[in-house]
Amino acid sequence: MQSLVSTTEVRQRILLQKEIPPLPLTARKILCMPPDAEISELVDIIENSPELAARLLGMANAAYFGWPGGVRTVYDAIYKVLGIKLVMGMALSQAFDVKKCRGFKPERYWFTAVVTAQLAQGLVPYLSNSSRCGLDNVHMNGLLHNLGIAVLAHTYPLEMSRAFSWPVDEPALPTTERIRAVLGVDQMQAGAWLARKWHLPRDIFCVMEHYKDPGYRGDFWSVALLVGYCERRAQRLFAMGDLGHEPESEALLGIGEAAMEKMRLTIDGQLEELNAMVSLMATGE
C-alpha cells in the first residue's frame, strides 16, 4: 500500500514543529517547578486550569482509588490519591484534539497507559540488579510511552483513521506497521520528536522511541525494555482479558512467576474500577 502522504511532509510537519502544539501552559509550569516545591504550589497551578482541576477531582473520587469519605479539594486529590505523575500525564494529554480521528480509542489509549505504568512500577522490586538502572521515573515513562500516537491522531486525523480502520482487502498488519504504511513514520518517532520539542527529560524520549524494540541497548535500555514488556501485557489485557506471558523478556528482566502472579491478582481485583476510571480519563465524564 502506498503512503497517503510523503515521509518528507510528515517529517517537516513534526520535526520543523509546524503542527505540533506547544507544551500546555499547565504542564510547562509543573515541569518548571523546583524539586523542593511545596504541594500547595502545584495546587495553585492546577486550580488555574478549571477543566483539569474538575477532571482530577472526578478521577480521585473514582472507585478504583477507594478513598474513604471522598475527595473534595485539588490538594487532597493530588497529595492523597493521584500523585504528581498521573497529574502530569493528564496535563500533557490536554494538548491534543483526537476527536476528528475515527478509530482512535481514548479508552484503550488510557487503559494501556495506566496499566503499563502500574505494572512497570510494581515490578521494579522484582527485577534483576542489572535491570534496575535508571528506573526512578518508570511510572511516568509508562504513562507517556505512547504519546506519539496521540500527536499523529491530532496532526493527521484522516490518515490515522485509515490506519485504525484497515481495509479488509489489505494484508493484516499490526497497528504500528499500518501507521508506517500510511504515514511513512510511526508513533515512536513522533513521540520522540514531540518529547524533544517539549524538552522533556531524556529518559522519556528514549523510552518513547525504543519501547517496541527488545534489542535496544542504548541509554535507558532497561527502562525501555520494561515499559515495552508492560505495554504488551497491558494491550493483551485490554484485548483478551489476561496478562499472558513472555518468557524471553521475563527472563531478561529477571521477573519470576511469583512477581507476575502478584501483579495479576492485584490488577484482576481492580479491573472493574480501573475501567471506570479510564472511561473518566478518556471522556471527562
Q: Provide mean pLDDT across the span 225-246.
A: 93
Q: Answer for the pair 76, 47: CB distance below 8 angstroms, yes or no.
A: no
CA distance 215 to 218: 9
CA distance 164 to 158: 10
- Per residue, the 3-state secondary structure of 176-219, as one string, reads HHHHHHHHCCCHHHHHHHHHHHCCCCHHHHHHHHHCCCCCCCCC
pLDDT at 130 over 80: no
To the question of pTM greater than 0.85 for the whole model, the response is no
CA distance 246 to 11: 34
C-alpha cell at 9: 511532509
Side chain identity at residue 26, one-letter code: T
Q: Choose from 40-54, 81-95, 121-135, 258-272 the range with maximum mean pLDDT.
A: 258-272
Q: Answer for the pair 63, 273: CB distance below 8 angstroms, yes or no.
A: yes
Q: Choose from 17-21, 23-27, 141-145, 272-276 the range with maximum mean pLDDT.
A: 141-145
Give residue-wise pLDDT tens across range 30-85.
Answer: 766 766 677 788 788 887 776 677 777 877 787 666 777 778 888 888 887 777 77
pLDDT at 152 over 60: yes
Is pLDDT larger for residue 273 or for residue 130? 273
Show the domains of the chain with their CATH numbers. Answer: 7-22+96-283 (1.10.3210.10), 23-94 (no CATH)
Distance of CA 70 to the CA centre of its chain: 27
Q: Provide mean pLDDT across the span 6-22.
A: 59
Check residue 112 and give its pLDDT: 94
- Per residue, the 3-state secondary structure of the chain, as one string, reads CCCCCCHHHHHHHHHCCCCCCCCCHHHHHHHCCCCCCCHHHHHHHHHCCHHHHHHHHHHHCCCCCCCCCCCCCHHHHHHHHHCHHHHHHHHHHCCCCCCCCCCCCHHHHHHHHHHHHHHHHHHHHHCCHHHCCCCCCHHHHHHHCCHHHHHHHHHCHHHHHHHHCCCCCCCCCCHHHHHHHHHCCCHHHHHHHHHHHCCCCHHHHHHHHHCCCCCCCCCCHHHHHHHHHHHHHHHHHHHHCCCCCCHHHHHHHCCCHHHHHHHHHHHHHHHHHHHHHHHHHHHCC
Check residue 7 and give its pLDDT: 62
Q: Choose from 2-6, 88-92, 270-274 the range with maximum mean pLDDT.
A: 270-274
CA distance 60 to 78: 8
Q: Provide mean pLDDT across the span 94-109.
A: 86
Q: Provide mean pLDDT across the span 176-186.
A: 90
pLDDT at 22 over 70: no
